[in-house]
Amino acid sequence: PETAEKPCSKNSRLAVSGDGLCKEARVSKTSLYKYFGDMVGVLMAVVVQEGDMFELNIDTNPETEEEFWVALIGYGTRLLRLLNTPFCAQLDRIMHEEARNNSSMANGYFENAYGKGHQDVTDLIRIGADRGYIASETSAEDLADHVISLWEGLPWVRARLGLVETPYPDPEKRARRCVDLLFGFESGVVSSRSNSS
C-alpha cells in the first residue's frame, strides 16, 4: 500500500451531533436517547462493540519459550493490523475530541481500548518473566507500556492526525523488530522464532 505521507481522503470532522447521527441512522432523537441516554452513551456503545469485534486474543498460557515469543509478536502484529484500519484512527480522533469535555467518557474509552490491551500484554509478559524467558528488573506493567509504545510509535500519531491512511505497511516486521529492540535480542533471533506464527 501507498505509505507516503498525505492527507487522508476521509472526512476529518471530529464533532458528533445527535441530529447528524439520527439523520444518518434514520431514527428519531427520542429513540436514540431512550437506548443510549446521550451522545456519551452512544460513543461508549461504539467503543464497547468495536472492542468486542476486534478482540485481539492473546495466548496467556504459552507452553514453551518459543510459543511465548510467537504469542507476543503475534499480538503486536494483530494490534498494528487493527490500527491500519481507517475506522480506528477516525474513532480515536472523535473520542479524544469528545473526551476533553467528559472525563467519565475519557476513562471509559481508555479502559475499553488502551487499558484492555495494556493489561493483556502485561499478563503475557508477567508469564514470560515468571518462566525465565525475560530477565529484567523492570515491572511487567512498564515493559508492556514500552513495547506497546514501540509498536504504535509516531506512525500512529500520523494516522490520528490524518497524515497517512496506512501507518504500518508491514505490521509483522514492525512487531518483531520492536520486540527484538526492547528485549535485547540480536537481530533475527526473535524473528526466526516467530516464523511459525
> What pLDDT, on the 0 to 100 scale, is given for residue 108?
78
Per-residue CA distances from 13 to 91, 93, 142 (Å): 11, 9, 35
pLDDT in tens, 81-125: 999 988 888 888 887 887 777 777 778 778 877 888 899 999 999
CA 189/CA 170 separation, integer angstroms: 18
Tell me what the pLDDT averaged over the chain comes to. Answer: 80
Contact 163, 7 (CB under 8 A): yes
For residue 186, pLDDT over 70 is answered with: no
Count CB neighbours of 126 within 10 A.
Answer: 17
Cell of 103: 472525563
The pLDDT score that the predictor gives to residue 7 is 38
- What pLDDT digit, counting tens, does each position of 31-66 carry? 877 877 776 677 777 666 665 655 667 767 888 999
Place of cell 475499553: 112
Confidence of residue 6 (pLDDT cuts 50, 70, 90): very low
The whole-angstrom separation of Cα 134 and Cα 52 is 30
The three grid cell numbers given for residue 195, joined into one nine-digit string: 516464523
Interatomic CA distance for residues 192 and 48, integer angstroms: 36
Other Cβ atoms closer than 10 A to 103? 9
pTM for the complete prediction? Answer: 0.74
Whether 197 and 59 have beta carbons less than 8 Å apart is answered as no
Residue count (the chain): 197
How many Å apart are CA 47 and CA 38, to the nearest integer? 15
CB 8 within 8 A of CB 164: yes
By the 8 A CB rule, do 73 and 56 touch?
A: no
